[in-house]
Amino acid sequence: MNQPRKIDSVVIEQLELDCVIGVNPWERLVNQRITIDITMDVDLLAAGKSDSIRDTVDYSEVVKAVTAEVNSSSYRLVEALASRVAEICMEPERVQSVEITLRKPGAVKSAAAVGVTIRRSR
């Protein structure tokens, strides 16, 4: 009996961007650093054989789109921003699911960062 093939992933780690994010009045006045980890589940079998960008997800295009959204955003909640980033990452048809971890370093004095991890799929 054939086992189903496990899906492959395109990964973008520790994307560092600045944006307005937060619910406190002072947070609405300054850009803050966030970090984003993105894992897009994609079947990479064809790309592995063809060695062609047409058979995969162009991670540079994903980074450009996410960067443009984040830099111009002013969300209050990391949950809302992470959800929007997930929507952007799901735009390429080849992406079957995505996991986004969005962190806000220094948001809590006693923690290196706080954040959320969300998962979306077709």
| Residues present in the chain in total | 122
Catalytic residue among 49, 64, 104, 109: 104
109 is catalytic: no
Indicate which residues carry an active-site annotation: 104
